[in-house]
Amino acid sequence: MFGRIREDIGSVLERDPAARSRLEVLLCYPGLWAVWIHRVSHSLWRSKLRLPARMLSQVGRFLTGVDIHPGALLGRRLFIDHATGVVIGETAIVGSDVTMYQGVTLGGTGKGHGKRHPTVCDGVFIGNNANVLGNITVGENSRVGAGSVVLSDVPPNSTVVGVPAHIVYRNGQRVLITDPHDVKDPLSDALIALAARVEEMEERLGGESRPDEPFAAEEAEREAYRMELERLRVYVSMGEGI
């Protein structure tokens, strides 16, 4: 037990530049207290002592602001920074070396039984107030942007942002959305219709004018106007010499 505690404190010192000493981490990081309390409540849960496990988890929630169901499976070196408002559901699975910030929710999307909460693999970073919902998987070493709502699986080594979340980086490469059908947004149908309308207008305009001389008519009018001004300048006297 003491070895795991030393390991947890060391992982905080590695990941948080604000941590200055082991004693400070031990006394001032409620996210660690929540993880340690969960280990006890999870042991009670596995021993079929469900009510004491739930009661202990509620004590931990009161002390730390972190609500972890005793049935959740947490890996090693989980770091919950700032802690307040984090919720981890009953069937959630969290891997090792995961970092979460305040307000993160690993929740469900319905009232069904069985596996209904996310699986977060090793090395994942989840920004503050992000929501990861449903029986989905966030792949190894992926990052979830602050305020994102993740509703589908995230491949390993990816960065997702948005509501609902979409991939912006994968394996260190920028991911660009070129097809409106790939936009995961409530307004995606409107975007698709708008893109189709723009294509239709481009085709119509392309058939009525020559692409190599799109402003030929305007240029001809300007040239005629210049010639008229030159003619008036030559033949109209403004009373010079009077």
pLDDT exceeds cutoff 90 at 227: no
- The answer as to whether 240 is a domain residue is no
Contact 163, 151 (CB under 8 A): no
Q: What average pLDDT is seen over the chain? A: 85
**64, HSE (Cβ side, Cα atoms, 13 Å):** 29
Q: Kindly tell me the sign of the dihedral angle through the C-alpha atoms of 36, 37, 41, 44.
A: positive
* Domain shared by 168 and 195, yes or no: no
User: What is the band of 114 on the pLDDT scale with cuts at 50, 70, 90?
Assistant: confident
- The answer as to whether 58 is a domain residue is yes
What is the residue range of 223's domain? Answer: 188-235
User: What is the band of 213 on the pLDDT scale with cuts at 50, 70, 90?
Assistant: low
Contact 93, 120 (CB under 8 A): yes
| Domain end call among 176, 199, 218 | 176
pTM of the model: 0.72
Collapsing DSSP states into helix, strand and coil, what is residue 148?
coil
Contact 119, 138 (CB under 8 A): yes
pLDDT digits (tens, 9 = 90+) for 29-64: 999 999 999 999 999 999 999 999 999 999 999 999
pLDDT exceeds cutoff 90 at 216: no
User: What is the band of 99 on the pLDDT scale with cuts at 50, 70, 90?
Assistant: very high
| Counted domains in the chain | 2
- Is beta strand 166-170 parallel, antiparallel or unpaired with respect to 79-80? unpaired
Q: In the prediction, which pLDDT does 193 show?
A: 79
Among 164, 172, 77, smallest CA distance to 124 is for: 77
* Domain shared by 129 and 226, yes or no: no
- Is beta strand 87-88 parallel, antiparallel or unpaired with respect to 105-107? parallel
* Domain shared by 15 and 128, yes or no: yes
- The answer as to whether 181 is a domain residue is no
Return d(Cα 144, Cα 162) in angstroms, integer.
9
